[in-house]
Amino acid sequence: MKRYLIVFAAIAVLSACEQQASEAVATAAVTESAEEFLARVNSELGELDRVRGAAGWLEVTYIIEDTAILKAAADERYAEWHSRTVGEAARYDDQELSPETRRALNLLKLDVLLPAPDDAAKRKELTRLATDLKGMYGTGKYCRSANDCLSISELEGLMQQGRDYDELLDIWTGWRSIAPPMREKYARYVELANEGANELGYGNLGEKWRSGYDMSASNFQAEALRLWEQVEPLYEELHCHVRAKLGEHYGEDKVPQDGPIPAHLLGNMWAQEWGFLYDLMEPYPGVSDLDVDSTLKTKNYSPQEMVRSAENFYVSLGMPRLPDTFWERSMFSKPADREVVCHASAWGLDGGNDLRIKMCIKQTYDELRVIYHELGHNYYQGAYKDQPPLYRGGAHSGFHEAIGDTITLSMTPEYLAEVGLVASAEQSQQAIINQQMQQALDKIAFLPFGKLIDEWRWAVFSGEISPDNYNQAWWDMRTRYQGIAPPVERSEANFDPGAKYHIPANVSYTRYFLARILQFQFQRALCEAAGHEGELHACSVYGSKEAGTRLQAMLEAGASEPWQNTLEKLTGTREMDASAIIDYFAPLMVWLEEQNEGRSCGW
Ligand code: X8Z
Ligand code: ZN
């Protein structure tokens, strides 16, 4: 605490007399203590983030050449500042410093997802490549004919509802036509970003990403593998059952029962979450009403009303209402007059004082849960806004992704009935299995996908996968982890990784894998705080101020401590651990094992 006071006091001085301060910097630099240096860094970072945030918002909500230029310029300015400042920080490398100061210096080094080389021309080239790739994804369309062009939002809708093998195949291959033009740019971007990572002292960009978890990069890699091995048996049971049901629907000639599932049949463009297959998978047809989609449609919920309903959950925990500016400045729907990136995101602009979401909301339960997810980010950003800028982040990136998802675990049938999203909540064993199936199709199906995206990138960044092997290596991993296969032959003329948002947008992905596991750990702790007795899957913390207080304390800490401490305060353990997700799905696993008896599972 004492340390924060020092940092804050210094920031106040710098911002009160900014001009003298920046002139003084050059001469003071030599004598500046590590604490003084960090105070200056925090102050400069606050201002840089404000400009970069504004340019970033425009870049994706108003895709034209001008906004791309502005964003690339803001990124370049940041990259220049970052490499210079990290260079200055090197003078404290051999000094004896408090753990807090050492931690803040390390966070500074990590505070760039795409490190740029020192060379000005290369820095410019990289920031522009990054903007171009994001823009290519955002404006990507599949044109079935000259005047029938479909955006990813529309294509996703068709994938979710479609049940015709050939029509799905057309949409699946159609969307992937946006990606080959990204291939060359991506390969160059990898080269340049690796150069930037090298200059920061990391072997390559993947190693830098893996270094953001308060442990060594290699320990982190082992940790991610350990967690995957814990949950792998759950996935294999689900895969086996889903393949059998798809075989019944499409025929075993189309879905062979001894191999991977064709990737276009899983109700999702990337086969990452399979919840839209629920109608084919419902264990006890007609038992319990889980049809939130139809309520949203019959009650004709507007995007704002859907967001309000998610906000109400957070408010029920004792958290504040979202500020007026959130409602004024967010983008809730796809604008008719311009290109935007529809992929959902949450923004904590102006140091967390200006919260927004950006989404093209559709009237589905799936989208409602994405809104809960995004508001989890916003509540985190709002809670840590009083931390110094270097500490304004999740305890680790997986924490950030897990908050909103934790709240969705409380969307039990009872909760949905209470807020009028379903007519009634049935308590029978059959109803539980139905509800668990719906959850598992999203939460469990996602696990190998969440793991492999960065496994592919880690190998690309390390050079183990080279450009002439990009697509083959991608599908090898998809098959090995997920047990899915491309429905038509692919080659190196394709660049299928580019058709997934996070690759061109350069968002690391292991965060989502970790979040899928952590959210159940968080939920177990919050349910205990709420005084829940009984099985974990039946718990909703809706309305529990006790759970809210515990959650808020974790959110306010931001990145100020190693995540192990933060986790311990909430859950009593210092390790990420899959036992909670395994407990949660115990009833469904018993049911799946029964269903799979006599089937030969695996691929
Ligand atoms: O990208 C997201 C969020 C924004 S952070 C909508 N997610 C991943 C994805 O869509 O691939 C959430 C789940 C995984
Ligand atoms: Zn997210």
pLDDT digits (tens, 9 = 90+) for 22-48: 444 444 556 899 999 999 999 999 999
Confidence of residue 2 (pLDDT cuts 50, 70, 90): very low
Confidence of residue 422 (pLDDT cuts 50, 70, 90): very high
Average pLDDT over residues 241-259: 98
Residue 376 CA to residue 527 CA, distance in Å, equals 17
Residue 457 CA to residue 459 CA, distance in Å, equals 5
**Residue 204 in this model has a pLDDT that exceeds 90:** yes
Half-sphere exposure of 162 (CA within 13 A, CB side): 21
Q: Any idea how long the chain is?
A: 603
pTM (2 d.p.): 0.94
**Residue 175 in this model has a pLDDT that exceeds 90:** yes
Residue 313 within a domain: yes
Mutate to test the pocket of ligand 1, among 362, 373, 374, 406 (most ligand atoms within 8 A of CB): 373
What's the pLDDT tens digit per position in 486-544?
999 999 999 999 999 999 999 999 999 999 999 999 999 999 999 999 999 999 999 99
**Residue 289 has what pLDDT?**
75
Q: Which of 365, 372, 512, 542 is catalytic?
A: 512
- 409 close to 418: Cβ distance less than 8 angstroms: no
Residue 444 within a domain: no
**Residue 15 in this model has a pLDDT that exceeds 50:** no
At 148, give phi and psi (nearest 5°): -135, 75
Average pLDDT over residues 251-278: 98
Residues contacting residue 62 through CB under 8 Å, at least 6 positions apart: 338, 339, 340
Question: Using the 8-state DSSP alphabet, how is residue 444 labeled?
Answer: T
* pLDDT over 90, % of the chain: 92
Residue 590 in tokens: 């018993």
Residue 385 CA to residue 398 CA, distance in Å, equals 19
Average pLDDT over residues 556-576: 97
Residue 376 within a domain: yes
Beta bridge mates, 83: none
Residue 413 CA to residue 435 CA, distance in Å, equals 8
Pairing assessment for the beta strands 354-358 and 484-485 based on DSSP bridges: unpaired
Number of domains in the chain: 2
Residues contacting residue 300 through CB under 8 Å, at least 6 positions apart: 363
Residue 342 within a domain: yes
**Residue 161 in this model has a pLDDT that exceeds 70:** yes
What's the pLDDT tens digit per position in 319-352?
999 999 999 999 999 999 999 999 999 999 999 9
Ligand nearest to the CA of 376: 2
**Residue 184 has what pLDDT?**
98
**Residue 104 has what pLDDT?**
96
What Å distances lie between residue 536 and 3, 12, 541, 579, CA to CA? 39, 46, 11, 12
The continuous run of DSSP H or E covering 144 comes out as strand 142-145
| Residues with C-beta less than 6 Å from any ligand 1 atom | 272, 344-345, 370, 373, 512
Residue 601 within a domain: no
**Residue 421 has what pLDDT?**
96
**Residue 30 has what pLDDT?**
61
The continuous run of DSSP H or E covering 354 comes out as strand 354-358
Active-site residue flag, 264:
no
Q: Which amino acid is at 289?
A: D
Mutate to test the pocket of ligand 1, among 512, 514, 517, 518 (most ligand atoms within 8 A of CB): 512
Residue 141 CA to residue 160 CA, distance in Å, equals 17
Confidence of residue 8 (pLDDT cuts 50, 70, 90): very low
Beta bridge mates, 349: 354
Half-sphere exposure of 575 (CA within 13 A, CB side): 9
Average pLDDT over residues 15-22: 36
User: What is the overall mean pLDDT for the chain?
Assistant: 94
Residue 433 CA to residue 367 CA, distance in Å, equals 23
What Å distances lie between residue 443 and 184, 196, 272, CA to CA? 34, 35, 9
Residue 189 CA to residue 166 CA, distance in Å, equals 35
Query: What residues pack around ion ligand 2 (CB closer than 5 A)?
Result: 401
**Residue 113 has what pLDDT?**
84
Domain end call among 93, 112, 131: 112
Half-sphere exposure of 115 (CA within 13 A, CB side): 28
**Residue 1 in this model has a pLDDT that exceeds 80:** no
**Residue 427 has what pLDDT?**
83
What Å distances lie between residue 431 and 235, 285, 591, CA to CA? 21, 10, 13
Residue 487 CA to residue 176 CA, distance in Å, equals 13
Q: Separation of 497 CA from ligand 1 center, angstroms?
A: 15
Q: Which amino acid is at 525?
A: A
Active-site residue flag, 502:
yes
- Domain residues for the domain of 331 are 292-422+521-565
Residue 78 CA to residue 128 CA, distance in Å, equals 13
- 76 close to 142: Cβ distance less than 8 angstroms: no
Residues contacting residue 285 through CB under 8 Å, at least 6 positions apart: none
> Of 214, 226, 299, 320, whose CA–CA distance to 561 is shortest?
214
Domain end call among 67, 91, 112: 112
Nearest CA to ligand 1 atom 5: 345
- 576 close to 226: Cβ distance less than 8 angstroms: no
Nearest CA to ligand 1 atom 13: 512
Residue 280 in tokens: 């084919």
Active-site residue flag, 252:
no
- Taking the chain, what is the end-to-end CA distance rounded to the nearest angstrom? 54
CATH number where 37 lies: 1.20.1050
Residue 373 CA to residue 403 CA, distance in Å, equals 7
Residue 203 within a domain: no
**Residue 53 in this model has a pLDDT that exceeds 90:** yes
Residue 467 CA to residue 448 CA, distance in Å, equals 23
**Residue 31 has what pLDDT?**
83
At 468, give phi and psi (nearest 5°): -80, 5
Longest dimension (CA), the chain: 78
Count Cβ atoms below 10 Å from residue 423 Cβ, excluding itself: 11
* Alpha helices (runs of H) in 384-493, residue ranges in sequence order: 397-408, 413-418, 429-443, 446-462, 470-477
Residue 594 within a domain: no
DSSP 483-524: -EE-SS---TT--GGGGSTTTTTT---HHHHHHHHHHHHHHH
Residue 228 within a domain: no
Residues contacting residue 92 through CB under 8 Å, at least 6 positions apart: 34, 37, 101, 105
